[in-house]
Amino acid sequence: MHRYELLARELRRQIESGRYAPGERLPGTRSLARIHRLSINTVLRAQQILESAGLIEAHPRSGFYVRTPTRPGSSTSPPRAQLPVQPTLVAKQRLVMELIQATRKPGMLPLGATLPASSFLPREEIRQTISRCARRDPELSVNYSFPPGNQVLRKSLAYYMNALDCRVGADDIIVTSGCHEALQLALKALTKPNDIVLIESPSFYGLLQAVEALQLKALEIPCDAREGIDIGAIDQACTRWDVKTCILVSNFSNPLGHCLSDDKKSQLLKVLARHRVPLIEDDVYGDIHFGLERPHPCKSFDEVGEVLYCSSFSKTLAPGMRIGWISPGRYYEQVSFLKFTQSLGAASLEQAALAQFLEQGRYHRHIRRLRLRCAEQVEKTRALLLSLLPENCVISGPGGGFVLWVELAPTFDCDLLYRRALAENISIAPGSVFSTGEAYRHCFRLNCALPWTAQYERALRRLAQLIEDQSQNQNSN
Cis peptide bond prior to 78, omega within 30° of 0 = no
What does the buried/exposed string (b/e) look like for 406-429 if buried means 16 or more CB atoms within 10 Å of the residue's CB? bbbeeebebbebbeebbeebbbbb
Separation between Cα atoms, residue 429 and residue 445, nearest integer Å = 5
User: What is 3-66's CATH number, 3.30.70.1290, 3.40.630.10, 1.10.10.60, 1.10.10.10?
Assistant: 1.10.10.10
Other Cβ atoms within 10 Å of 78 Cβ, number: 19
Alpha-carbon radius of gyration of the chain: 22
Among 26-40, 174-188, 286-300, the minimum mean pLDDT is found in 26-40
At 81, the pLDDT band (50, 70, 90 cuts) reads very low
**Per-residue pLDDT tens over the stretch 370-411:** 998 999 899 899 999 999 998 889 999 888 999 999 999 999
At 422, the pLDDT band (50, 70, 90 cuts) reads very high
As a whole number, the mean pLDDT across the chain is 88
Sequence-distant (6+) residues with CB within 8 A of 89 are 212, 215, 216, 217, 218, 436
Question: Looking at this protein, which amino acid is placed at residue 371?
Answer: R
**Residue 77, pLDDT above cutoff 50:** no
**Residue 36, pLDDT above cutoff 70:** yes
**Residue 82, pLDDT above cutoff 60:** no
Report how far apart, in Å, the C-alpha atoms of 12 and of each of 184, 232, 295, 436 are: 42, 32, 19, 41
CATH homologous superfamily for the domain 91-119+369-476: Aspartate Aminotransferase, domain 1 (3.90.1150.10)
Question: Looking at this protein, which amino acid is placed at residue 155?
Answer: K
User: What is 121-363's CATH number, 3.40.640.10, 3.30.1380.10, 3.20.20.140, 3.40.50.10490?
Assistant: 3.40.640.10
What does the buried/exposed string (b/e) look like for 120-149 if buried means 16 or more CB atoms within 10 Å of the residue's CB? bbbeebbeebbeebeeeeeebeeeebebbb
Among 26-35, 59-68, 160-169, the minimum mean pLDDT is found in 59-68
**Residue 183, pLDDT above cutoff 50:** yes
Mean of pLDDT values over 320-342: 94
Give the per-residue pLDDT at 415: 93
**Residue 439, pLDDT above cutoff 90:** no
Q: Which of these, 39, 19, 368, 247, lies nearest to 7 by C-alpha position?
A: 39
As a whole-number percent, the residues of the chain with pLDDT over 90 amount to 60
Q: Give the chain's largest Cα–Cα span.
A: 69
Separation between Cα atoms, residue 280 and residue 310, nearest integer Å = 7
Sign of CA dihedral 51, 440, 373, 289: positive
Give the per-residue pLDDT at 477: 63
**Per-residue pLDDT tens over the stretch 196-221:** 999 999 999 889 989 989 999 999 99
**Per-residue pLDDT tens over the stretch 406-416:** 999 999 999 99
Separation between Cα atoms, residue 28 and residue 382, nearest integer Å = 16
Mean of pLDDT values over 252-257: 93
Task: Locate the domains of the chain by residue range.
Answer: 3-66, 91-119+369-476, 121-363
**Residue 78, pLDDT above cutoff 50:** no
